[in-house]
Structure 1
């Protein structure tokens, strides 16, 4: 059986991608068959893989990572490919075809062996392999009645995928709109084989987080923790890529939600008495992990740190106990917000009726992001706001949710409540009398330079509950014991 494998690390069987193709074929026929104006003939799904990209106008390339929809269907690690899934509308029989670049002979001198189509066929277990310059000839032989290509707008980035260009396109009836929602929905529910890859990359990431927690101490640089994470993920887990830029915030940086970018590259020395918030996830065979651990730099929580951390932990625990097939994700966000406000009130930071606070949007001051997101081949995975699903909520404290769907068994999501003390949001809260009346201002100000806490787990939704793939210390006691063992 062919597989993707880095050394002795987890083997990802090519049947994973074959099963994905079968799933997409069935979904396309189920969604489109009644609307098709033909009852016999070939329906083609044509996808374009990712391309090599250079650093600006240099001859140095970014390390290639396959386009996610193409990865889902074919699992090919090379750039410049195309793929076709040919479906016989009458019999539902499918044929998978991979098109690879025809490379010059000198490629072998600089880049390694030139593989023949037969080698790619065995490597990826597809039915047929041709060169990209043979697409037009393939289409002429196949005479498809309709070609579905892929174009759509990502609801997280707002960026639109452009449909592929290919030789002979003008000769055929093509549609670039129908496929995107169908293929996106297929990606939402994970297969058993996908779940095993996700379980593996979450375990690698969890172990790397533990290494970081045991390494960090006052005086270390934030980027040193990032380096420890990346080293373990690659050297031990075979994960060449991270799923996103590592977020390694300490002190007030821990309240910057997407810290670690080029303008703030995890470059601050960690101080004694501060909280650290490290949000990092490895990537294996295109599949992502996304885990956040918050912990004290010196390995011992202060009373204020325990107060905020435990408030977030209880919000996380409440969602973890309640999330399951059939439950509204919006309701889970509200539950997390309510529990957080209850715990902050119990500790003296807030006063008044918690339901009124929630309705007023007070939880959005402390947690301005959504409870979590879909996870898979993309760290913010597709399927959030498809036209068939509930729209984005309009209330400001709910509008940052990355999806508003009812949970289904087989969905893979992050559960990541947080509590942050962000100067601008604190000022806005104090300037708004409808919010300020719930706040113990003196205590609130005490936390102005606290930073933030986030607890993020990677969770598989099941019929009866939620299975957490993030295996890291979560209680105050577990964290302190883990850090003491360094």
Structure 2
């Protein structure tokens, strides 16, 4: 592990985060970074990704490390590299060098951690080896699949309060991720006319991420089967008349994410039916961004997207009735089953390792309605929040061919008219939107959404 240089400004930011945490809790906390997971044999490791909660306060992705936070101070616990590691990994920085880099107040070997555990809170790390170690050392179950309890819950709430809005250090990283992601999507559009299968477009897009020494912030979705929401297969051929849906984002070296989706025609020209649906999705996208402002309920933004989508589908003759009534009956969810977006930060679905603790305001819980159960964020917006806006239209066979749903909506859906839009499997348009005091700033605005501008990019 080679440690990159941290600026004095970032060290100051990290210290400010620790001070802010100290104002919210009056007990010590220990956060583990996690470790690489092996596949098939011990030396063949999956790429390492540090726990985001650790990264937020430590700033560097240090494997097999822990930090103790108390009264605004940070103590680092990690071992120096074994002498033999130099053969395989080169000269590695020592613990004291790393401590100086992150502005730690003290640094100790990992073994010293066992004497510092009384009364501490923690948050479970995702990799099994680490959460098993957490549970053993703290003599209580610390499991990622369980909601935190006791002081662990109090720590989680405090960290949520800090991470819900972004400081300048975070925003600098998020802007960097967004800028690279814009270039990623442009590269994908340019590569499409000469590509034979989805994988070639994916390669062109991820090449840009790698060239910036970044990684993908999630598994890329690059598919002509946009009706499969999290499609991670890339073997399908690209045929004239297909739409290619690309949901790809970059993650900076410090772990901050972007999340962008565009949909474009493989042959560089939307058909009339594709253009009609695309414009409905774009109208919902634009209306939602225009509504973003501090104090506005994100749930209301979601419902606005549903209403605009329903209005557009009524105008196209696909749905029958009044848009508000259709949304109340969840008819729109036949084609737009997911939420309008989510929090974005150190994770692409920020802090969802804590379940709905971050996404849902205290006292709120998920709806069991077809049209609301996948809403990931249900809070009033605050200045400094970064959210995604990502309406979509999908013809999912498992939904549209469901006997109960077809019976329930047999008179509100014009199934014959819908069949004329068979060349639209899935369309999604997604941008990263910062809530500002005046309203909003689209961090990914440099990537066009207008259908004609998209066509121009694909056509070079």
Query: What is the CA–CA distance in structure 2 between the aligned matches of 1:484 and 1:444, rounded to whole Å?
Result: 29
The 3 A distance-change label for structure 1 pair 351 and 166 is closer
2:184 equivalent to 1:208 = yes
Alpha-carbon distance between aligned partners in 2 of 1:363 and 1:11, rounded to the nearest angstrom: 50
Structure 1 residue 164 and structure 2 residue 140: aligned?
Answer: no
Give 3-state SS (helix, strand or coil) of 1:203's partner. helix
Partner of 2:258: 289
Number of the residue aligned with 1:50: 34
Aligned residue runs from structure 1 range 300-339, under 5 A: 300-339=269-308
Contact 1:86 1:95 (8 Å CA) reproduced: yes
SS of the equivalent of 1:27 reads coil
SS of aligned partner of 2:434: strand
Query: Offset at 1:429?
Result: 7.5
> Is residue 180 from structure 1 mapped to residue 156 from structure 2 by the alignment?
yes
Change (3 A) 1:444 1:218: farther
TM-score by length of 1: 0.84
**1:164 alignment partner, SS class:** helix
Structure-2 separation of matches of 1:114 and 1:161: 26
1:103 and 2:78 aligned: no
Structure 1 residues 105-159: Cα deviation after superposition (integer angstroms, max 9, x where no partner): 212222222433321122222221221122245x3xxxx873222249x9xxxxx
Q: Contact 2:274–2:421 at 8 Å: present in 1 too? A: no
Tell me by how many angstroms 1:431 deviates: 5.2
How is 1:72-471 mapped onto 2 (pairs within 5 angstroms)?
72-87=56-71, 94-136=72-114, 139=116, 146-151=119-124, 164=134, 175-217=151-193, 219-235=195-211, 237-239=212-214, 241-250=215-224, 253-260=225-232, 265-284=233-252, 285-382=254-351, 383-385=357-359, 388-428=362-402, 432-470=406-444, 471=446
From the CA coordinates, give the structure whose radius of gyration is larger: 1
**Displacement of 1:362 after TM fit?**
0.9
| Structure 2 match to 1:39 | none
Could you tell which deviates more after superposition, 346-355 or 286-295?
A: 346-355
- Spell out, residue by residue over 1:302-324, the C-alpha distance to the aligned partner (whole angstroms, 9 max, x if none): 11111000000000011011011
SS in 2 for 1:28: coil
What is the CA–CA distance in structure 2 between the aligned matches of 1:355 and 1:429, rounded to whole Å? 24
Supply the distance in 2 between the matched residues of 1:401 and 1:293 (Cα, whole angstroms): 21
**Which whole-Å deviations, capped at 9, do the CAs of 1:447-486 have from their partners, x for residues lacking one?**
245211000001111233121111211101211222222x
Secondary structure of 1:180's aligned partner: helix
Question: Does the 8 Å CA contact 1:102/1:133 hold for their aligned counterparts?
Answer: no
In 1: Cα distance, 2:131 partner to 2:383 partner: 28
CA contact (8 A) 1:4 1:14 kept: no
What is the TM-score of this pair, normalised by structure 2? 0.89
Structure 1 residues 169 and 360, CA, compared in 2 at 3 Å: closer, same or farther? closer
SS at match of 1:176: helix
Contact 1:5 1:11 in 2 (8 A): no
**Residue pair 1:276, 1:297 contacting (<8 A) in 2 also:** yes
Query: Distance between the aligned counterparts of 1:386 and 1:358, measured in 2?
Result: 22
Q: Distance in 2 between matches of 1:369 and 1:431?
A: 16
CA separation in 1, counterparts of 2:131 and 2:341?
Answer: 24
Q: Residue 449 and residue 11 in structure 1: after superposition, are their counterparts in 2 closer, same or farther (change >3 A)?
A: farther
Residue aligning to 1:33: none
- Report what 1:22 is aligned to: 19
Q: Distance in 2 between matches of 1:385 and 1:220?
A: 40
Structure 2 counterparts to residues 1-20 of structure 1, below 5 A: 4=4, 13-20=10-17
Gaps of 5+ in 2: 141-149, 352-356
* Unmatched 5+ stretches in structure 1: 30-42, 88-93, 155-159
Deviation at 1:223, TM superposition (A): 1.0
Change in CA separation of 1:292 and 1:389 when aligned onto 2, cut-off 3 Å: farther
Q: What's the CA shift string for 1:372-415, capped at 9, x where partnerless? A: 01111111112534572521123221111012111111111100
Give the paired residue count: 439
- For the 8 Å contact 2:193–2:458, the answer to whether it is kept is no
Q: Which moved more, 1:463-472 or 1:290-299?
A: 463-472
* C-alpha separation in 1, matches of 2:270 and 2:317: 19
Change (3 A) 1:162 1:435: farther
Change (3 A) 1:269 1:319: same
Are the equivalent residues in 2 in contact too, given 1:102–1:132 (CA < 8 A)?
no
CA contact (8 A) 1:429 1:436 kept: no
Taking the aligned partners of 1:476 and 1:112, their CA distance within structure 2 comes to 50
CA distance in 2, matches of 1:449, 1:286: 38
Structure 2 CA distance for partners of 1:114 and 1:483, relative to 1, 3 Å? closer
